[in-house]
């Protein structure tokens, strides 16, 4: 007698890999297309050229959009990390009814559709002159990324024993010193990982950027949107390829940070 | 007693922050949320009720005008369809992921998480390449001899549904995966040895126990799909708008702010209501936990 | 398809005897590692067998193969001469109790117990009646409408037991079913399981790493190590005359002394590390003794006698610890060569004079000594 072949598992496996192909193929397909000599994005791609990458890097408009997005994402990551860490620390260690209010408000930016916030900010920022400014983008993206920083930090801070700070304070440290020299080093990898999260969300954020962008101040997603909407050229696959490489790099970076934080917290 | 309460506000003890410190630490958050989140949306809602004069007309127009009513229905229907497709496509992947081990598990996880980390625009752009007249899908269909003429795929509602499902699928897979992972292996074994076939084991034990994950993922996908803008704006037909594209049109082309505000009001109220009703099931932090 | 073989009429409750099980040349490999390495095991109908061994000894893998959760690399498993080796779990008609109860948390207690009957297509009224009866058997009548999380660990495990026997399987598998319970509950449950076994006449395979559990409960115990059966026999045989050094060390407490065999005749004479030569009865040699070879002498701590009153070999021990341990005193000391020796002496009064550092004299009765080939070092 032989072990029976497991037909159920085979069917499940085939189905799962078909779905995974559905997830991955559209992402992967842009890579060969970015090297195609064909101007019209026809499939299959023909020849090999780097001219679309050259076009991206040579274009002043693309460069300006990319630089704006980098600035905004960088500042957003800093603001969201600072505000988010302070608030999370208050949530984990604090004692106040405000904490409950904080937890409710935190869900807001995730639940409320981005289009609603985008339209509201479009109106509001125009009246106070923040539309199309770096400060405007950073404020909007800080709101959108805060929940993700808080979730990351809450998981990390929750694991740090409150007694560690009590011990530091019994050694003469102030509350701030206890945080600075004991808690912060323990949660630093998670803080970096949360900031990375905020950076990539801001960098890729299309909807609010779409409405807040002025004629001259356009973020990279807004420029891409226009390009896809109007004249789809192979510059888009080239940029998409670069962005996918960036995502992979950030994903790997985040993974490295998390595994570091795991070894640290298990050591502590 | 009042004294004790007051002292807890001013002074921290060894483990807990004082009320004052808590307030100070939360203040930047509240300031940003009030200024950049609550105020702009509240302002829109106010406009929807008072412009051009105090009235409910703006809301009446959302329902009375058959074109607008159809946009609402289409939005609901599309979100429901995307949610259903995500469950059908996502559940088996989540199940497979929860059972896989080692390198295989890592591979599946990367396939699910990588799209989450890449821009929605990139993913939507990819679909617009695939759906072109001479894109991959039409080329493949013609090469296989299934059609002699390329299909019109781009700028259709089907394109919107397919691409939105693609974009939102990870939000379905991760909560279900989280729920399935928390079911001990022995439950399936116990059911099997007690006489349940694999199908019965799944229906009687695995499915009921993973239901919270399915509900949570479905809500997440449904709520996000309702307000989705980029994908319908780039892949959809102007004749088949969704609520977000209608809002955008009212603001950028028609310049009818009160009506746009009313549309945003309807969308926001509906989404918030659903979130409140299901607040127990929605586990946003699980999304992050699943991603790590 | 074949549902009728699963359910016997409810009337044959007590007479339904267990099934015999034959495991032949069972082998399970994970890559290069043999989890089970050529195990043969014949279990009589209605027998209570314990599989005892340290973790990684293969005991659980054997149980998983019998349950059908894992298919062996080679070998066969027969129940009542029917080959079940590759039959899916749900068609084996076995009962099983798991370590962590595994009651389905979304079902009531009654639905949990009725679950196997539902799978076998019984009408609702009958399965509820039989589930109630099974709950009564484990003394949990009236608990049917509760949820698993409303019950204590011991109660949950009794429900799991009821669920495993409700369809009157002829074999009951138990995977460390008591290890999650605390000590008192564990002893209650041991009696409960023994009682059920006697009542139902069911064949039981019981996996445990707790030797006292195995010794008190099982008709026969199979001691496993590295995927192989080291010894199989009733508790008394296992304890009184372990078949090899591993079993001797694993089951119960044992003192070991390395010796060299000097001659083999009417008596076996061995030389001890500190130069003495002892004459042992030939029955002491569990393995055949060979002149000139290294051997290990083994004695249970409770077989040692304090003083020189009894017949046997006399040995002097420098005491290091004297521990009051309730029913007996535990004396720990060193033999002249430094080997540690433990003795359990009942009755505390005669020991009042002893203190750590004293040299005590013990008598080792000849029939208490076992001799194995090999060495401990």
Contacts of C105 in chain B (CB under 8 A): 209
Q: What angle do CA A121, B291, A266 make, to 5 degrees?
A: 120
Verify whether the Cβ–Cβ distance C102 to B204 is below 8 Å. Answer: no
Q: Which of B186, B187, B194 sits opposite C119 (nearest CB)?
A: B194
CA distances from A46 to A32, A42, A56, A234, B17 (A): 9, 9, 20, 12, 64
Six-digit token string for A220: 């990279």
Judge whether B142 lies within some domain: yes
Judge whether C47 lies within some domain: yes
Judge whether B37 lies within some domain: no
Asked which of C204, C225, C245 is the last residue of a domain, the reply is C245
Which domain range does residue C53 map to? 3-94+169-245
Contact in structure between C337 and C376 (CB atoms under 8 Å): no
- Could you tell me if A179 and A152 lie in one domain? yes
Residue B168 confidence (pLDDT): 94
CA distances from C139 to C95, C133, C173, C192, C196 (A): 19, 10, 21, 10, 11
Six-digit token string for C101: 């109860």
Verify whether the Cβ–Cβ distance B29 to A20 is below 8 Å. Answer: no
Q: Please write the tens of the pLDDT for every residue from B62-84.
A: 888 899 999 999 999 999 999 99
Judge whether C117 lies within some domain: no
Verify whether the Cβ–Cβ distance C106 to B193 is below 8 Å. Answer: no
Judge whether B270 lies within some domain: yes
- Could you tell me if A164 and A238 lie in one domain? yes
Contact in structure between C20 and C44 (CB atoms under 8 Å): yes
Verify whether the Cβ–Cβ distance A3 to C76 is below 8 Å. Answer: no
End-to-end CA distance of chain B: 45
Judge whether A252 lies within some domain: yes
Verify whether the Cβ–Cβ distance B187 to C120 is below 8 Å. Answer: no
Contacts of C88 in chain B (CB under 8 A): 192, 197
Among all residues of chain A, which has the CA nearest to that of C68? A3
- Could you tell me if C219 and C318 lie in one domain? no
A44 DSSP 8-state letter: S
Judge whether B131 lies within some domain: yes
- Could you tell me if C33 and C175 lie in one domain? yes
Among all residues of chain C, which has the CA nearest to that of A2? C86
Give the burial class of C258: count Cβ atoms within 10 A of its Cβ; 0-12 exposed, 13-18 middle, 19 or more buried.
middle
In chain B, alpha helices (H): 2-10, 19-33, 39-50, 57-64, 66-99, 102-117, 120-130, 136-143, 157-181, 185-193, 198-201, 207-226, 230-235, 243-249, 257-277, 284-291
Verify whether the Cβ–Cβ distance B190 to C102 is below 8 Å. Answer: yes
Give the closest residue to B87 by CA, choosing from B180, B221, B178: B221
Percentage of residues in chain A having pLDDT higher than 90: 48
Residue C324 confidence (pLDDT): 82
Verify whether the Cβ–Cβ distance B200 to C119 is below 8 Å. Answer: yes
In this structure, of A35-39, A112-116, B24-28, C133-137, the range with the lowest mean pLDDT score is A35-39
Which domain range does residue B276 map to? 57-291
Contact in structure between C164 and C94 (CB atoms under 8 Å): no
Residue A10: Cβ within 10 Å count: 10
Q: Please write the tens of the pLDDT for every residue from C32-85.
A: 889 999 999 999 999 999 999 998 899 999 999 999 998 999 999 999 999 999
C119 touches B at CB < 8 Å: yes
C5 DSSP 8-state letter: G
Regions of chain B where pLDDT drops below 70: 1-15, 282-292
Residue B29 confidence (pLDDT): 96
How distant is the Cα of C181 from the closest Cα of chain A, in angstroms?
29
Collapsing DSSP to helix, strand or coil, A141 comes out as helix
End-to-end CA distance of chain C: 60
Q: Which of C71, C76, C83 sits opposite A3 (nearest CB)?
A: C71
Strand order in the sheet with C328-334: C305-306, C359-364, C313-325, C328-334, C340-346
Residue A263 confidence (pLDDT): 58
- Could you tell me if C220 and C265 lie in one domain? no
Judge whether C218 lies within some domain: yes
Asked which of C222, C245, C268 is the last residue of a domain, the reply is C245
- Could you tell me if C221 and C338 lie in one domain? no
Chains within contact range of chain A (3+ C-beta pairs < 8 Å): B, C
Verify whether the Cβ–Cβ distance A4 to C86 is below 8 Å. Answer: yes
How distant is the Cα of B105 from the closest Cα of chain A, in angstroms?
12
How distant is the Cα of A8 from the closest Cα of chain B, in angstroms?
9
Judge whether A88 lies within some domain: yes
Give the closest residue to B166 by CA, choosing from B100, B98, B97, B235: B235
Tell how far CA C220 is from the center of its chain.
8
C244 DSSP 8-state letter: S
Contacts of C338 (CB under 8 A, 6+ apart): none
Contacts of A1 in chain C (CB under 8 A): 76, 83, 85-86
Verify whether the Cβ–Cβ distance A1 to C71 is below 8 Å. Answer: no
pLDDT band at C5 (very low <50, low <70, confident <90, very high): very low
Q: Please write the tens of the pLDDT for every residue from B105-142.
A: 889 998 998 888 888 999 999 998 888 887 888 888 88
Contact in structure between A85 and A70 (CB atoms under 8 Å): no
Percentage of residues in chain C having pLDDT higher than 70: 94
How distant is the Cα of A11 from the closest Cα of chain C, in angstroms?
18
Residue C299 confidence (pLDDT): 94
Q: Mutation target for C interface from A1, A5, A7: give the one with most C CBs within 10 A.
A: A1
- Could you tell me if C224 and C293 lie in one domain? no
- Could you tell me if A21 and A101 lie in one domain? no
- Could you tell me if A86 and A177 lie in one domain? yes
- Could you tell me if A23 and A104 lie in one domain? no
Q: Which of A27, A116, A123 sits opposite B126 (nearest CB)?
A: A27
How distant is the Cα of A55 from the closest Cα of chain B, in angstroms?
18
Number of A/C CB contacts below 8 angstroms equals: 9
- Could you tell me if C207 and C316 lie in one domain? no
Among all residues of chain C, which has the CA nearest to that of B212? C106
Contact in structure between A162 and A179 (CB atoms under 8 Å): no
Q: What angle do CA B95, B99, B100 make, to 5 degrees?
A: 115
In chain C, alpha helices (H): 59-67, 109-119, 124-137, 153-165, 183-200, 211-217, 235-240, 245-250
pLDDT band at A250 (very low <50, low <70, confident <90, very high): confident
Beta bridge partners, C224, equal: C229
Judge whether A20 lies within some domain: yes
C89 touches A at CB < 8 Å: no
- Could you tell me if A130 and A181 lie in one domain? yes
C114 touches B at CB < 8 Å: no
| Count of domains forming chain A | 2
- Could you tell me if C266 and C329 lie in one domain? yes
Among all residues of chain C, which has the CA nearest to that of B197? C90
Strands C340-346 and C359-364: unpaired
Judge whether A2 lies within some domain: no
Verify whether the Cβ–Cβ distance B193 to C88 is below 8 Å. Answer: no
Verify whether the Cβ–Cβ distance C100 to B190 is below 8 Å. Answer: no
Judge whether B215 lies within some domain: yes
Q: Please state, in angstroms and rounded to a whole number, the distance separating the CA atoms of residues C371 and B40.
A: 90
**At residue C3, does pLDDT exceed 50?**
no
How distant is the Cα of B162 from the closest Cα of chain A, in angstroms?
10
Judge whether C137 lies within some domain: no
Verify whether the Cβ–Cβ distance B90 to A40 is below 8 Å. Answer: no
Which domain range does residue A110 map to? 60-267
Give the closest residue to A234 by CA, choosing from B237, B128, B133, B139: B128
Q: What is the CA radius of gyration of chain C?
A: 25
In this structure, of A230-239, A254-263, B68-77, C197-206, the range with the lowest mean pLDDT score is A254-263
- Could you tell me if C180 and C231 lie in one domain? yes
How distant is the Cα of B66 from the closest Cα of chain A, in angstroms?
23
A29 touches B at CB < 8 Å: yes
- Could you tell me if C361 and C328 lie in one domain? yes
| Count of domains forming chain B | 1
Q: Please state, in angstroms and rounded to a whole number, the distance separating the CA atoms of residues C218 and C175.
A: 14
Percentage of residues in chain C having pLDDT higher than 90: 62
- Could you tell me if C220 and C174 lie in one domain? yes
Judge whether B85 lies within some domain: yes
Give the closest residue to B123 by CA, choosing from B85, B165, B81: B165
- Could you tell me if A148 and A243 lie in one domain? yes
Asked which of C245, C269, C293 is the last residue of a domain, the reply is C245
C52 DSSP 8-state letter: E
Contacts of C29 in chain A (CB under 8 A): none
Judge whether A1 lies within some domain: no
Contacts of C265 (CB under 8 A, 6+ apart): none
**Secondary structure (DSSP) of C128-170:** HHHHHHHHHHTT-TT-TTS-GGGS-HHHHHHHHHHHHHTT--S
Strand order in the sheet with C294-299: C277-280, C268-271, C255-264, C294-299, C370-373
Collapsing DSSP to helix, strand or coil, C209 comes out as coil
How distant is the Cα of B218 from the closest Cα of chain C, in angstroms?
21
How distant is the Cα of C2 from the closest Cα of chain B, in angstroms?
12
Q: Mutation target for C interface from A3, A6, A7: give the one with most C CBs within 10 A.
A: A3
Beta bridge partners, C318, equal: C334, C359
How distant is the Cα of B192 from the closest Cα of chain A, in angstroms?
15
In total, chain C counts a number of residues equal to 377
Please report, for the domain that includes residue A216, its CATH number.
Answer: 1.10.3720.10
Residue A103 confidence (pLDDT): 86
Give the closest residue to A156 by CA, choosing from A89, A100, A204: A89
Verify whether the Cβ–Cβ distance C83 to A2 is below 8 Å. Answer: no
Beta bridge partners, A154, equal: none
Verify whether the Cβ–Cβ distance B29 to A155 is below 8 Å. Answer: no
Contacts of C86 in chain A (CB under 8 A): 1-4
Q: Please write the tens of the pLDDT for every residue from A229-238.
A: 887 788 899 9
In this prediction, residues A199-203 reach a mean pLDDT of 92
pLDDT band at C1 (very low <50, low <70, confident <90, very high): very low
Q: Mutation target for C interface from B193, B202, B215: give the one with most C CBs within 10 A.
A: B193
In total, chain B counts a number of residues equal to 292
In this structure, of A16-20, A93-97, B96-100, C135-139, the range with the lowest mean pLDDT score is A93-97
- Could you tell me if C235 and C273 lie in one domain? no
Contact in structure between B97 and B108 (CB atoms under 8 Å): yes
Q: Please write the tens of the pLDDT for every residue from A117-165.
A: 999 999 999 999 998 899 999 999 999 999 999 999 998 998 888 888 8
Contacts of B251 (CB under 8 A, 6+ apart): A119, A122, A211, B257, B260
Q: Please state, in angstroms and rounded to a whole number, the distance separating the CA atoms of residues A90 and A99.
A: 7
Collapsing DSSP to helix, strand or coil, C95 comes out as strand
Tell how far CA C362 is from the center of its chain.
31
Q: Please state, in angstroms and rounded to a whole number, the distance separating the CA atoms of residues B125 and B120.
A: 8
- Could you tell me if C330 and C183 lie in one domain? no
In A98-119, which positions are buried (b, 16+ CB within 10 angstroms) versus exposed (e)?
bbeebeebbbbbbbbbbbbbbb
Judge whether B62 lies within some domain: yes
| Count of domains forming chain C | 2
Query: Tell me, what's the ipTM?
Result: 0.89
Six-digit token string for C333: 């000391």
How distant is the Cα of B240 from the closest Cα of chain A, in angstroms?
16
Tokens 């007698």: give the residue.
Answer: A1
Six-digit token string for A123: 């109106």
Percentage of residues in chain A having pLDDT higher than 70: 96
Q: Please write the tens of the pLDDT for every residue from A78-95.
A: 999 999 999 999 998 887
Beta bridge partners, C96, equal: C173
**Secondary structure (DSSP) of B106-166:** HHHHHHHHHHHHS-HHHHHHHHHHHTSTTSHHHHHHHHTTS-SS----TTSHHHHHHHHHH
Contact in structure between C373 and C287 (CB atoms under 8 Å): yes
Give the burial class of C65: count Cβ atoms within 10 A of its Cβ; 0-12 exposed, 13-18 middle, 19 or more buried.
buried
Contact in structure between C346 and C328 (CB atoms under 8 Å): yes
Please report, for the domain that includes residue B164, its CATH number.
Answer: 1.10.3720.10
> Which residues of B touch chain C, with CB atoms under 8 Å apart?
184, 186-187, 189-198, 200-201, 204-205, 208-209
Contacts of B190 in chain C (CB under 8 A): 96, 98, 102, 104
Contacts of A22 in chain B (CB under 8 A): 89, 166
Residue A264 confidence (pLDDT): 54
């Amino acid at each position: 007698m032989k072990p029976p072949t497991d037909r159920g598992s085979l069917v499940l496996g085939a189905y799962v890999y078909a779905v995974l192909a559905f997830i991955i193929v559209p992402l992967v397909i842009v890579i060969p297309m970015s090297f195609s000599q064909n101007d019209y994005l026809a499939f299959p791609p023909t020849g090999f050229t780097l001219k679309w990458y050259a076009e991206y890097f040579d274009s002043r408009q693309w460069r300006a959009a990319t630089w704006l997005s980098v600035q905004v994402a960088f500042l957003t990551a800093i603001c969201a990390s600072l505000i988010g860490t302070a608030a999370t620390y208050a949530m984990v260690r604090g004692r106040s009814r405000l904490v409950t209010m904080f937890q409710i408000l935190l869900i807001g930016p995730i639940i409320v559709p981005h289009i609603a916030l985008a339209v509201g900010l479009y109106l509001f920022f125009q009246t106070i002159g923040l539309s199309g400014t770096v400060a405007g983008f950073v404020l909007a993206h800080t709101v959108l990324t805060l929940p993700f920083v808080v979730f990351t930090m809450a998981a990390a801070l929750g694991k740090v024993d409150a007694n560690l700070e009590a011990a530091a304070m019994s050694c003469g440290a102030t509350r701030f010193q206890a945080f600075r020299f004991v808690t912060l080093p323990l949660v630093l990898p998670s803080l970096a990982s949360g900031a990375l999260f905020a950076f990539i969300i801001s960098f890729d954020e299309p909807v609010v950027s779409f409405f807040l962008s002025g004629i001259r101040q356009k973020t990279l997603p807004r420029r891409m949107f226009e390009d896809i909407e109007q004249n789809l050229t192979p510059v888009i696959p080239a940029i998409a390829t670069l962005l996918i490489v960036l995502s992979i790099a950030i994903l790997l970076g985040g993974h490295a940070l998390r595994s570091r934080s795991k070894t640290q917290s298990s050591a502590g | 007693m009042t004294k004790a309460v007051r002292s807890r506000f001013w002074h921290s003890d060894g483990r807990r922050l004082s009320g004052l410190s808590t307030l100070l630490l939360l203040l930047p958050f509240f300031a940003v949320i009030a200024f950049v989140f609550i105020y702009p949306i509240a302002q829109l809602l106010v406009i929807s009720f008072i412009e051009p004069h105090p009235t409910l007309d703006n809301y009446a127009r959302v329902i009375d005008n058959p074109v607008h009513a159809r946009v609402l229905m289409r939005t609901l229907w599309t979100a429901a369809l995307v949610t259903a497709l995500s469950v059908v496509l996502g559940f088996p992947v989540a199940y497979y992921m929860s059972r896989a081990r080692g390198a295989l598990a890592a591979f599946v996880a990367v396939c699910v998480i990588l799209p989450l980390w890449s821009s929605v625009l990139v993913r939507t752009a990819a679909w617009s390449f695939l759906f072109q007249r001479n894109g991959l899908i039409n080329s493949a269909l013609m090469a296989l001899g299934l059609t002699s003429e390329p299909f019109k795929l781009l700028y259709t509602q089907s394109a919107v549904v397919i691409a939105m499902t693609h974009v939102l699928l990870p939000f379905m897979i991760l909560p279900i995966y989280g729920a399935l992972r928390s079911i001990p292996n022995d439950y399936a074994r116990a059911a099997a040895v007690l006489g349940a076939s694999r199908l019965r084991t799944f229906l009687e034990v695995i499915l009921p126990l993973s239901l919270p994950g399915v509900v949570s993922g479905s809500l997440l996908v449904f709520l996000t799909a309702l307000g989705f803008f980029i994908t319908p704006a780039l892949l959809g037909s102007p004749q088949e708008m969704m609520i977000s594209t209608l809002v955008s049109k009212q603001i950028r082309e028609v310049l009818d702010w009160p009506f746009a505000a009313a549309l945003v009001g309807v969308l926001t109220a509906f989404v918030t209501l659903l979130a409140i009703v299901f607040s127990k099931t929605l586990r946003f932090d699980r999304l992050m936990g699943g991603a790590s | 398809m074949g549902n009728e073989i699963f359910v016997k009429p409810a009337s044959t409750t007590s007479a339904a005897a267990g099934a015999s099980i034959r495991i032949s040349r069972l082998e399970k490999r994970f890559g290069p590692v043999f989890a089970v390495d050529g195990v043969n095991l014949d279990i009589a109908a209605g027998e209570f067998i314990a599989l005892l061994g340290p973790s990684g000894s293969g005991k659980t893998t054997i149980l998983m193969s019998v349950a059908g959760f894992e298919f062996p690399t080679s070998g066969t498993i027969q129940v009542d001469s029917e080959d079940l080796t590759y039959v899916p779990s749900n068609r084996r008609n076995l009962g099983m109790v798991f370590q962590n109860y595994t009651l389905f948390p979304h079902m009531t207690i009654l639905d949990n117990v009725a679950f196997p009957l539902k799978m076998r297509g019984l009408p609702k009224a009958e399965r509820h009646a039989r589930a109630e009866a099974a709950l009564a058997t484990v003394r949990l009548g009236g608990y049917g409408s509760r949820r698993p999380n409303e019950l204590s660990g011991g109660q949950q495990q009794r429900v799991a037991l009821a669920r495993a026997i409700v369809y009157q399987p002829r074999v009951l598998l138990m995977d460390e079913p008591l290890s999650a319970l605390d000590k008192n509950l564990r002893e209650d449950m041991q009696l409960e399981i023994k009682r059920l076994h006697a009542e139902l006449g069911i064949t039981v395979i019981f996996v445990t790493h707790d030797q006292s559990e195995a010794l008190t409960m099982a008709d026969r115990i199979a001691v496993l190590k590295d995927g192989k059966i080291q010894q199989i026999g009733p508790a008394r045989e296992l304890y009184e005359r372990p078949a090899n050094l591993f079993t001797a060390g694993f089951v119960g407490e044992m003192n070991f002394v390395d010796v060299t065999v000097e001659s083999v005749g009417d008596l076996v004479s061995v030389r001890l590390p500190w130069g003495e030569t002892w004459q042992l009865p030939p029955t002491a040699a569990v393995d055949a003794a060979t002149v000139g070879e290294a051997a290990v002498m083994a004695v249970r701590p409770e077989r040692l006698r304090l003083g020189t009153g009894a017949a046997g070999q006399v040995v002097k021990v420098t005491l290091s610890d004297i521990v009051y341990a309730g029913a007996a005193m535990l004396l720990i000391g060193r033999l002249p060569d430094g080997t540690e020796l433990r003795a359990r002496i009942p009755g505390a009064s005669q020991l009042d004079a002893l203190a750590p550092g004293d040299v005590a004299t013990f008598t080792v009765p000849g029939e208490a000594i076992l001799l194995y080939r090999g060495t401990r070092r």
